[in-house]
Amino acid sequence: MLAELTCKRNKLILFIIAALTVFFAYHAAGIKINADISNLMPVDKEFQATMEEFGQAQSNVGIMVLAIEGDNLFSLEGLRVFNDVIGQIEELPGILPGIHPFNFLSFQKKGSRLSAGYLAEHREAPKTPEELADFKEKVLSDPFAAGQVVSRDGSMLAALFPLGSIADTEETARLHELLEPLKTHYRVYVTGDNFFTEEMNYYLFDDLKTLMILAVIFILILYYISFRSRRAMFLPLGLILISITWCLGFMSLMDYSITVMNIILPPLLLTIGSSYSVHILNGYYRESRPHLEKREWIVQAVSHASATVILAGITTIVGFSSLLATSIYQTRQFGISMSFGIFTCVLLSLTFLPAALSCMPPPKGFQKDHVLQGKITRFMQRLSLWVIQRKRVFFFAFATIILLFILLIPGLRYQSDYQGYFPRDSKIILETNYILKKLGSSQQLYVTFEAPEGQKNYFLDPEVLSAVNGFEEALLAHPDVVAVDSFTNYLRGLNTLMYDRQGIPENKGLILSLSRYFQLLRKEDTSGSIGLMTDADYSRITSVIRVYNHETGKFLTESPFKEFTEFIETTAGKKIPEDLKHTLWGSSMQYQKLSDTMNRDQSFSIALSMILIALITAAFFKSILYGLLSLIPIIFGVMINFIVMVLVGIPLDMITIMVSSVTVGVGVDDAIHFLIQFKRQKALHRGNRREAFFHTYSIAGRPILLTTVAILGGLCILLFSNFLAIKYFGFLLCLTLSSTLIGTLFILPAFCRILYRKMG
């Protein structure tokens, strides 16, 4: 027997655990923090294939925007510094050549001809007052530059840089140094994935320290109040810290990093893992026999609690392992890491804890009395009598929750926008929103049109271009559309500039003439943005749609985004001839698909974990009925979770999606402990239902309440996180596990009362 071996070879066991801790600590020291938000996106082969097909196979992972604003925006000295900073930024690793006011390509009319050229002579800042005046006039009057490198009100200039990779901490620090000279002339605003990553990195470090310190303090206080013993404080804490060390070492060996998804792992493991110690300690103090040989009664106490600990550990691991069925790589990492962490907690509870306890003197009498006859035990005894007399009330409450869940679940909303993870007053969020307000939007969607059978010069036909133009005009009428950049847009602009006429030229010869000017622009384009609009033989053209949420002034996401894409395919799509193939694509489409993925993952992981847990508990109790009964508190808690999410407006995102799986794994522990003790007491008090319930509550009620309070208290620590999603995660887990506790102490006994004769 493991308990007997552990107590007999206690020093050897402690030595082995110490050696393993040193091994894992060595590897844990090398674990990395990865704050790259772009890695949260699941890999979608279909999406990647579409991007490659339509010319977006570059290695860039995002975009960085540098914007300046000031009372004297167009000054020789200020623009010179702006130009120098842009050049230095483009030399940094991971930042590709960008588009800015000095290299922006456009057209100017000279006499009766058009010429393609840059807004700035020689693609650099003006050096003389005359050059400055010419540059200012071109920038403020150019219809193509507005909303891209200059705000529509002319008060802000901007440079946009594609990112080849997310910069590391040192590179981002260097970037901030380069921006300093600009701040003497302008108000400087920056945004982009590299700055979001930098901010995320800061918060991850800050959160990890704060959450762990608060969780440790809470655990120490709770264990002392519960057992009035220093050993009951520090042994479980030591056990959990060892488990966390092993878990971090395991993650390092698996080449996992600390991310926004698993930053909650150490404090979560600290709180959940501590529950197993409660069961062992409760049995240790309850069954202490100072007059007997110490090893004998400790072995007995651990043996009685081991079934509960092992079964609870297995079901918790099943709950976390169900996350392996999700499509998000970081979520799967979290599931694997937490499963390993829970396994180590169970193993250490059954080895480290009894080995350490067997090296200490027996507990004092008042400590045993505190467990056997304390306030919590007496409260549970009274509660048992009250609950079994009101079974119909709890049946009605359970039915009401089911009805509310069915009615409200369609209103659950989703969130895939990573900006939602940051505090609303975060500097990066404020600057991003301000840039969006001034420039319009950097969020883009693409609609690519392909000629039937790849016909060359198809998109030089006036009728075809008029149809595409009608489609774009319908888009521009939508309030969420900032602008549409396309070949037809350039044709309209060139037609106005050259001939002072509005719209698409009706003459094909005129279109051919203007298209040659566009080709000049296309050849000079180094960014690839203009080249994307047409291919060389005009058998394919692409409309670039810049969008934003006109109600919030932020990126277009979730339901508004879905409604807009439906508008493109229906209302605006009616303008497109039936024989003209078109494809809607872009990185924003991937975020929309993420919502559908989260919905599918959520449903599948919950169903899978519940089925597995029902099978495991049914096998343990050798009864299908017991397996089904163990799910009642979980079902109750999960339904409460979704009802509150809908009523309060908390979205389902890449972090809160894990709440249900955690609830299934952790929430079933209380039900298992209750059912194990209920089956024992039912056998001891045959025919006496009152006594069976009374003793079940008397023995199991205290550890059930203490373990749940320990977990809830630890999870409340998550409310101090800087990330809104993690705060939601902590709140929802507290709510849901509180609900499973209610389900265990009120709903489950009501079912047991009705099914008493059939429960064997």
At 259-315, the pLDDT tens digits run: 767 777 887 787 777 778 777 777 666 666 665 555 676 777 777 778 778 888 888
Q: Which residues contact residue 241 at a Cβ distance below 8 angstroms, ignoring those fewer than 6 apart?
A: none
Backbone angle region of 585, left / alpha / beta, with phi > 0 → left and psi within -120 to 50 → alpha: beta
At 207-226, the pLDDT tens digits run: 667 777 777 787 777 777 76
| Of 330-344, 532-546, 695-709, 735-749, the least confident | 695-709
Residue type, 347: L
**Starting from the edge strand earliest in sequence, which strands make up the sheet with 187-192, in order?**
156-163, 62-69, 187-192
Please determine, for residue 418, whether its predicted confidence score (pLDDT) is greater than 70.
no
The answer to whether residues 326 and 317 touch, using CB atoms and an 8 Å cutoff, is no
Please tell me which residue, 167 or 719, carries the higher pLDDT value. Answer: 719
Q: What is the mean pLDDT of residues 640-649?
A: 90
Q: Which long-range contacts (CB under 8 A, 24 or more apart) does 302-308 make?
A: 302/3, 302/6, 302/7, 302/350, 302/353, 302/354, 303/1, 303/3, 305/279, 305/280, 306/2, 306/3, 306/350, 307/676, 308/279, 308/672, 308/673, 308/676
Question: How does residue 604 score in pLDDT terms, banded at 50, 70 and 90?
Answer: confident
Please tell me which residue, 523 or 545, carries the higher pLDDT value. Answer: 545
Please determine, for residue 48, whether its predicted confidence score (pLDDT) is greater than 70.
no
Tokens in use for 175?
A: 């970037």
At 425-453, the pLDDT tens digits run: 788 888 888 888 888 766 778 888 888 88
Quick check: helix, strand or coil at residue 111? Answer: coil
Residue 242's pLDDT is: 92
Please determine, for residue 734, whether its predicted confidence score (pLDDT) is greater than 50.
yes
Helix 487-499 to helix 508-524 angle (10° resolution) is 110
Please determine, for residue 67, whether its predicted confidence score (pLDDT) is greater than 90.
yes
What value does the mean pLDDT of the chain take?
A: 80
Q: What is the mean pLDDT of residues 87-115?
A: 79
Residue 59's pLDDT is: 44
Please determine, for residue 58, whether its predicted confidence score (pLDDT) is greater than 50.
no
The answer to whether residues 628 and 616 touch, using CB atoms and an 8 Å cutoff, is no
Please tell me which residue, 382 or 522, carries the higher pLDDT value. Answer: 382
Residue 760's pLDDT is: 62
Please determine, for residue 752, whether its predicted confidence score (pLDDT) is greater than 50.
yes
Please determine, for residue 316, whether its predicted confidence score (pLDDT) is greater than 80.
yes
Between CA 717 and CA 727 the distance in angstroms is 9
The answer to whether residues 637 and 656 touch, using CB atoms and an 8 Å cutoff, is no
Tokens in use for 196?
A: 């979001």
Residue 1's pLDDT is: 65
| Of 127-131, 447-451, 588-592, the least confident | 588-592
At 545-587, the pLDDT tens digits run: 888 777 777 777 767 777 888 888 877 767 777 778 888 887 7
Residue 60's pLDDT is: 46
Residue 443's pLDDT is: 75
- One-character DSSP codes across 392-442: HHHHHHHHHHHHHHHHHGGG--B---GGGGS-TT-HHHHHHHHHHHHH---
Burial class of 19 by CB neighbour count within 10 A (0 to 12, 13 to 18, 19+) = exposed
Between CA 661 and CA 668 the distance in angstroms is 11
Between CA 311 and CA 407 the distance in angstroms is 35
Between CA 89 and CA 152 the distance in angstroms is 25
Tokens 């099914």 belong to residue: 755
Quick check: helix, strand or coil at residue 450? Answer: strand
Q: What is the mean pLDDT of residues 61-84?
A: 89
DSSP code, position 747: I
Q: What is the mean pLDDT of residues 598-606?
A: 74
Quick check: helix, strand or coil at residue 466? Answer: helix
Question: How does residue 232 score in pLDDT terms, banded at 50, 70 and 90?
Answer: confident
Quick check: helix, strand or coil at residue 380? Answer: helix
In angstroms, what CA-CA distances link 46 with 542, 545, 580, 589, 593?
19, 21, 22, 11, 11
Between CA 652 and CA 728 the distance in angstroms is 10
Please tell me which residue, 320 or 40, carries the higher pLDDT value. Answer: 320
Residue 590's pLDDT is: 67
The answer to whether residues 428 and 422 touch, using CB atoms and an 8 Å cutoff, is yes
The answer to whether residues 301 and 357 touch, using CB atoms and an 8 Å cutoff, is no
pTM: 0.71
Q: Count of alpha carbons within 13 Å of 583, Cβ hemisphere only?
A: 15
Buried b (16+ CB within 10 A) or exposed e, 704-727: bbbbbbbbbbbbbbbebbbbbbbb
Residue 429's pLDDT is: 82
Question: How does residue 247 score in pLDDT terms, banded at 50, 70 and 90?
Answer: very high
Tokens in use for 21?
A: 């801790």
For the domain covering 374-411+591-760, report its CATH number: 1.20.1640.10
Angle at 238 between CA 237 and CA 240, to 5 degrees: 65
Q: H or E element: which one contains 472?
A: helix 462-476
Please determine, for residue 620, whether its predicted confidence score (pLDDT) is greater than 80.
yes
At 459-506, the pLDDT tens digits run: 888 888 888 888 888 888 888 888 888 888 888 877 777 777 777 877
Tokens 């609830």 belong to residue: 663
| Of 144-158, 329-343, 364-378, 610-624, the least confident | 364-378
Which alpha helices (DSSP H) does 535-623 contain, by range?
558-569, 587-621
Please determine, for residue 591, whether its predicted confidence score (pLDDT) is greater than 60.
yes
Please determine, for residue 64, whether its predicted confidence score (pLDDT) is greater than 80.
yes
Please determine, for residue 57, whether its predicted confidence score (pLDDT) is greater than 50.
no
In angstroms, what CA-CA distances link 473 with 404, 467, 484, 489?
45, 10, 9, 10
Question: How does residue 22 score in pLDDT terms, banded at 50, 70 and 90?
Answer: very high
At 174-201, the pLDDT tens digits run: 888 899 999 999 999 998 877 777 777 7
At 324-351, the pLDDT tens digits run: 877 777 778 888 998 999 999 999 988 8
Question: How does residue 26 score in pLDDT terms, banded at 50, 70 and 90?
Answer: very high
Q: Which residues contact residue 720 at a Cβ distance below 8 angstroms, ignoring those fewer than 6 apart?
A: 210, 211, 214
Helix 658-684 to helix 632-648 angle (10° resolution) is 150
Tokens in use for 513?
A: 């003439």
Q: What is the mean pLDDT of residues 77-95?
A: 89
Residue 270's pLDDT is: 78
Where are the chain's structural domains? Answer: 60-196, 374-411+591-760, 446-547+557-585
